[in-house]
Amino acid sequence: MDDSPAAETIVSATTPRGEIALRERADPDGGVVHELIIAGTFAVDSLDTSTEARLAEESLSRTAAPERVLVAGLGLGFTTWQVLKDKRVRHVDVVEIEADLVQWARLGLAPTLGLVARHPRVGVHAGDVAGVLRGEATPVGPWDLVLLDVDNGPSFLLHEGNERLYRPEALAAALAQVSPGGTLAIWAAQREPELLTSLERLAPTEEVVLEVERQGRRLEYALYLTSALP
């Protein structure tokens, strides 16, 4: 029987894409764990942030001069927080489709969300990153590193509408927002051969397979790194 403590909803909102909620539960070690629920589905929690850290670290390590970074998807803020640890990064734009989540971040309803929203090197924008990557909405690129962290890849969409982000024309538009010599990075919960093929048709792409241990289980994720040609 699962005897883990139940999570309590701190705040929730109904959006055109379904309900989102910020919840908290007791940490087995005595702290507090925050959870983000999107469209009724568990998205991320603060108990294990190793995947967010690896996404940022691997992407930054392959980018020569990541002064300007775009992070697509706010989550609980851990990907952006890891990006900020790299002192080469001068500014980070975060684009999040859920305006309520942006507001919760500005209110500091979860610790890392608050740190990211108040950080002097960060701009948090409520909007659809698809329009940003097409150059039709603010913030305006180009960026040295673009991190797509809105889903767990094309096979595990948080919103069905995000499927369009992985189409060849959308990938080409995203790469066009990357400065010469920069990197387009896409996170996936598993290997995505079709995504790799689409990216390789655009520019040199590296598939990095990452093993992560979460709650006693060994999981294999994939990171796709496409280089914008100088």
8: left (phi over 0), alpha (psi -120 to 50) or beta: beta
Over residues 6-13, mean pLDDT? 93
| 40/9 Cα distance (integer angstroms) | 12
Average pLDDT over residues 142-161: 87
**What does the pLDDT read at residue 2?**
41
pLDDT above 70: residue 4? no
Cα separations (Å) of 52 from 57, 71, 186, 205?
9, 11, 12, 20
Pairing status of strand 143-148 against strand 68-72: parallel
Instruction: Give pLDDT tens digits for 152-200.
Output: 788 888 777 789 999 999 999 999 999 999 999 999 989 999 999 999 9
Under 8 Å CB-to-CB from 148, ≥6 apart: which residues?
72, 73, 129, 165, 174, 184, 185, 186, 187
E strands, 150-227, where?
178-188, 205-214, 217-227
Closest Cα partner for 102 from 91, 117, 92, 115? 117
In the predicted model, is pLDDT for residue 1 greater than 50? no
Name which of 13-22, 96-105, 157-166, 195-204 the model is least confident about: 157-166
Give, in order, the Cα–Cα distances in Å from 152 to each of 7, 74, 161, 164, 189. 23, 13, 14, 14, 5
Task: Please tell me the predicted confidence (pLDDT) of residue 156.
Answer: 82
- Beta bridge mates, 218: 213
pLDDT (tens digit per residue) in 25-83: 998 777 899 999 998 888 899 988 888 898 999 999 999 999 999 999 999 999 999 99
Q: Give me 146's structure tokens.
A: 């673009």
What mean pLDDT comes out for the span 11-27? 94
Q: Is the pLDDT of residue 3 over 60?
A: no
Instruction: Give residue-wise pLDDT tens across range 75-97.
Output: 999 999 999 999 999 999 999 99
- Per-residue confidence (pLDDT) for residue 79, from 0 to 100: 96
